[in-house]
Chain A
């Protein structure tokens, strides 16, 4: 999977490393600020209220 991505990135090793880093940071940011907040309400340990 990762070797496929690496293979398809443009540029030499230096450019690929930089692009990889940017991609990783972009994915992490996407996860932390979009995916996780969206998923969170559906998880059990956020329930702090009493309801019948």
Chain B
């Protein structure tokens, strides 16, 4: 666009007063010289010589960008939390379970007759839970106590409730989602399904209450249902006789499992009641475990 040739004239272009618009002239020059067009308050911007964005506009833009970045960061952190709940806690739990299992097995091999009489301390592993309906290889080490630290390692035994095989109610709590999800599929248990508890010297086979033929949970003469959904405050489910008055004596050997319901909510609890089916089976008699382990 520059008219380089000296002396060449074109109509209306032969004197300096007729110039290209200032905007294009600035485009031709490397440095902007037209002071009228420059806003001295603004930081340097694009060299087109147009009105620069004001400082206030820049500040708002920075705020908006910062807010946007913050929101995206929060979103990513939340996503990371979901990943944590679903995968990392499972991983950590698997590690904890393996450790507990090895320790317990060691303990049982070393002194099988004495451990069964030691007082249980919170955090101590003392039994292994097998639920064939949830998998032929379903196997969780149970620890004493139901605090967060205990439950993050595996199913926990409510303090003060019966021990496996004893009269009363062996009450266990377990996570539904995350931390190994031991009780994720508790809702799949049907009446008559075996729940096998393994201790240092014995196997105990409990069976979910109800009628295996019809699948009805409420047919047991004791009136205790095999499965129920209750409020979190309903402590009667872990009483000596489940669902009875707190002071009622033990009327049998029961096993109760508790977890949250619905799956991701703490609104209710899913409860499974089972009753001891037969006497304790000594490990010496059946080292591979009762036949119930291989059901389904």
B245 CB, nearest partner CB in chain A, Å: 14
| Pairwise interchain contact B81-A36, C-beta atoms closer than 8 A | yes
B28 CB, nearest partner CB in chain A, Å: 33
Which among B88, B238, B258 is the interface contact of A48 at CB below 8 angstroms? B258
Q: What is the bound-complex CA distance between A1 and B70, given in angstroms?
A: 8
Q: Flag whether B183 is at the interface (Cβ < 8 A).
A: yes
- Whether A51 contacts B233 in the complex (CB less than 8 A), given A32-B84, A36-B81, A46-B148, comes out as yes
Q: Flag whether A31 is at the interface (Cβ < 8 A).
A: yes
Find chain B residues with CB under 8 A from A52 CB: 233, 235
Q: What is the bound-complex CA distance between A36 and B80, given in angstroms?
A: 9
Q: Flag whether A13 is at the interface (Cβ < 8 A).
A: no
Contact with B along A20-52 (1 / 0, CB 8 A): 000000001001100010001100111111111
Q: Flag whether B127 is at the interface (Cβ < 8 A).
A: no
Which among B70, B81, B173 is the interface contact of A49 at CB below 8 angstroms? B173
| Pairwise interchain contact A31-B258, C-beta atoms closer than 8 A | no
Find chain A residues with CB under 8 A from B175 CB: 46, 48
CB contacts under 8 Å to A, within B225-272, are: 230, 232-235, 237-238, 258-260, 264-266, 269, 271
Find chain B residues with CB under 8 A from A45 CB: 177, 260, 264-266
| Pairwise interchain contact A48-B80, C-beta atoms closer than 8 A | no
Q: Flag whether B295 is at the interface (Cβ < 8 A).
A: no
| Pairwise interchain contact B77-A31, C-beta atoms closer than 8 A | yes
Find chain A residues with CB under 8 A from B237 CB: 50
Find chain B residues with CB under 8 A from A32 CB: 80, 84, 88
- Whether A49 contacts B146 in the complex (CB less than 8 A), given A31-B77, A31-B80, comes out as yes
A40 CB, nearest partner CB in chain B, Å: 8
Q: What is the bound-complex CA distance between A1 and B266, given in angstroms?
A: 37
Q: What is the bound-complex CA distance between A25 and B156, given in angstroms?
A: 34
Find chain A residues with CB under 8 A from B235 CB: 50-52
Residue contacts A-B, CB under 8 angstroms, 23 given? A1-B66, A1-B69, A31-B80, A31-B84, A32-B80, A44-B266, A45-B260, A45-B265, A46-B175, A47-B232, A47-B260, A48-B151, A48-B183, A48-B258, A48-B259, A48-B260, A50-B173, A50-B230, A50-B237, A50-B238, A50-B258, A50-B271, A51-B233
Q: Kindly list 17 other residue pairs between chains A and B, CB separation below 8 angstroms, not including A31-B81, A41-B148, A48-B258.
A: A1-B70, A2-B69, A36-B84, A45-B266, A46-B266, A48-B173, A48-B175, A48-B176, A48-B183, A48-B260, A48-B269, A49-B158, A49-B173, A50-B258, A50-B269, A51-B233, A52-B233
Name B's A-contacting residues (CB within 8 A): 66, 69-70, 73, 77, 80-81, 84, 88, 146, 148, 151, 158, 173-178, 183, 230, 232-235, 237-238, 258-260, 264-266, 269, 271
- CB-based closest 3 A-B pairs: A47-B266, A44-B266, A49-B173
